[in-house]
Structure 1
Amino acid sequence: MTKIVILTGAGISAESGLGTFRDTDGLWSQYRIEDVATPEAFARNPALVQAFYNLRRDTAARAQPNAAHQALARLQRDWRGDVVIVTQNVDSLHEVGGATDVLHMHGTLAGALCGACNHRWTAPPSMAPDEPCPACAAPAARPDVVWFGEMPYHMDEILTHLASADLFASIGTSGEVYPAAAFVQDAHASGARTIELNLEPSAVTSAFDDIRIGPASEAVPLWVDELLQKQN
């Protein structure tokens, strides 16, 4: 059976009200990435970083999945082969929309991580700058998200999936953040067909076999319908 590996980025959640790095009027536009999304920023000003992620956590908790999230959950449920969803997003909209076993390569806003002992737990709605770890009590709790300069999660598992994929789809990604931007080349090298679904062409559009341009909430359900109809 055909194995489908899907990479999603910020563009799939934008229509649910969660902004991307490049929005001109969203939450990210109020902060510099260097001040809130690097290990150095957290060491320099943990209060600012925790406040920023408290805002993101609250916004994400109130967001609802859109038709694109729901379509991918339907594909995962109804496809007779494997459907693996890898996301760069730190929200939980895939899961709320019905998807399972999502690989969050950049972590999740719902998680907390101890910088001292690496213990993980469910983050409270609001984390303080000196939030203690429930395991070791060190005041070193941080959001369990991958900051710039850190290694993404699940990379060995993701590369294994790409090596066995028959079809690779990239949805709502800019193609500017590595290693995810190279997944299309990894999939090609293993013989997979590739497709990009995006609001506008990404930085790596030329590497894909097929391109679909349009809002994710429209393009993704149509693509999923096509796949399921061909299967029947």
Structure 2
Amino acid sequence: MKFRRNPLPQQLEEAIHEKGSFAYVFNLLMGILLVLNIVGNLIACMIIDTSVDHDRVKEATNGNIKEWKHCNRCDRLAPPRSWHCKLCGVCILRRDHHCMFSGYCIGHQNHRYFMCFLFHLMVASIYSTVYYSIYLWRITGFKFIFLSLISNLLDSLVTIFYVLNLILLALAFAALWNYVPMMMAGEVSGEHKKNLESKYNFGLNRNLRTVLGERMHVVWLFPTIKSKLSEDGYSWNPQLKQDQLGD
């Protein structure tokens, strides 16, 4: 049994870039990198434990006694900004929300991977939408793209994927539109819903480092890059806000 050296349809290959050209190789590598980042960050969201480690929770001091709380469900002391998740069954450290897509909560330890997942998902969606459009334009013409979406949707697998890609792009953009401003303001979803100024807003630079870590400029490149978070997720001192804003 023999296998094809190139499994891609010849028409598809010649419609975009010539095989072996710089653009062909570049886009192939970009596609692989985007897939690795999307899958890698999603897996990180799922496997990294962001629940409260009660072995680290010590008796609250006089300075932050008002910030600590008792979780009735866990029947344990919980640090500030932590919330109990009914679906996960545990208290989540600096809980943002329960991600139904990954099936796990997004909290202090995996927030970075969630944001990187959304970023690469949107980039990949834009990338594929552009190339889908070019392909459909060159192969079938302008009329196919706009009229076929309505009249021949079920007859064309390419068109179905094109529509699904547009939906994915819209969802990724909407998610980033929602979560990026909160990250920049030092908020999580539970705090944002109260529509009050966050007392944990320590300035843009510190807020980004709280989520993305000290190497926030390079964590977007690959999920395995280590980046120590500026906060431990347990000790939050709102009194430092003015000092941080003055830096």
Q: Rg: which structure is higher?
A: 2
Q: What TM-score, normalized to structure 2?
A: 0.29
Q: What TM-score, normalized to structure 1?
A: 0.30
Higher relative contact order (CA 8 A, sep 6+): 1
